[in-house]
Amino acid sequence: MSDQGTNNHSEETDFIFVGFRVHPEFHIVLFLFFLFAYGMVLLGNVGMVAIILTDTRLSTPMYFFLGNLSFIDLSYSSAVAPKAMANFLSSSKSISFAGCVAQLFVFTLFMVAEGFVLAAMAYDRFIAICSPLLYSIHMTRRFCTQLVAGSYFCGWVTSVLIASMTFTMSFCASRVIDHFYCESHSIEKITCSNIFINRMMSLVLAGIIILPTIIIIMVSYVYIVSTVLKINSAEGRMKAFSTCGSHLGVVSLLYGTMFFVYLIPPSNPELRKVASVCYTLITPMLNPIIYSLRNKDVKESLKRILEKKKIFL
């Protein structure tokens, strides 16, 4: 009866975010930083999607994946940043039970989907460089759509499992989450339930999700590097590497910050929060910049769009 009462009570009340342990005067600085970063996320990723949808020259598998990557970046950033900014200016810094469930669900869905889309992009580059004559046969529109749909499906299944495991636990009297968004590890700290099964399930899911995507990316690039090194001309090698450099940069940025977060000891939660900002805001902010600066097609497409606007003006 006591567990049931605790559950009922926790469902009817809000969670409170600790956020960053700084002086209240610095909350406006954090708000402005998040506002700038999130504004850049919106500008960069919406712009990237618009360019890809507008220019028919970019109707290729690589840009189909890139458009979905931008949509995913925009989605999981939007699950976290607006609420965090609102809390920086609020004295309560709260989120409803339903809001916390939704935030964790959406964030997990798109983060997992991003891992699979990055793996699909690595496979796409592998086929383009290692088997260029068979590229149009392997990377059909239907197959690319299936890869992306599968990425979203895996994200959905994972988010359902994690959200259901997290929010079926009994919560203690304290509803204070030591983070700036609803992160499962931080929520587990305020539960009265035994979290052993949750931790084991999280490890299993990580092994099923993260390990295969990393293996696909690593194996793809082993073959890519091996093939590129066999190209006789230096210009040909540079052109081949340039098509992969942006993707490698994005993969390194995302997985590097995520691994860093989970290697941080529990005794240093503030560093964990700072590192979390990297993959919730900084990575999705930099991804469009990385692809646009290193991608000749995107720059030319943007130039054509701007020239058309000048003509109409």
CB atoms within 10 A of CB 63: 21
Residue type, 20: F
CA atoms within 13 A on the CB side of 277: 18
CA–CA separation, 101 vs 163, rounded Å? Answer: 6
- Residues of the chain with pLDDT > 70, as a percent, come to 90
According to CATH, the superfamily of the domain at 14-308 is: Rhodopsin 7-helix transmembrane proteins (1.20.1070.10)
Report strand pairing: 15-17 vs 176-177: parallel
Structure confidence by residue, pLDDT tens digits, 117-166: 999 999 999 998 888 899 999 999 999 999 999 999 999 999 999 999 99
What per-residue confidence (pLDDT) applies to 82?
A: 95
**CB-neighbour burial class of residue 227 (10 A; exposed 0-12, middle 13-18, buried 19+):** middle
Question: CA–CA separation, 300 vs 307, rounded Å?
Answer: 10
Strand bridging mode 94-95 / 176-177:
unpaired
Give the residue among 190, 156, 149 at the shortest CA–CA distance from 13.
190
Asked if pLDDT for residue 296 goes beyond 80, the answer is: no
Nearest to 288 by CA among 53, 71, 92: 71
Lowest mean per-residue pLDDT among 59-73, 185-199, 274-288, 289-303 = 289-303
User: And the tokens for 299?
Assistant: 């720059």
Mean pLDDT value of segment 186-191: 87
Least confident of 63-72, 82-91, 253-262: 253-262
The amino acid present at 72, given as its one-letter code, is: I
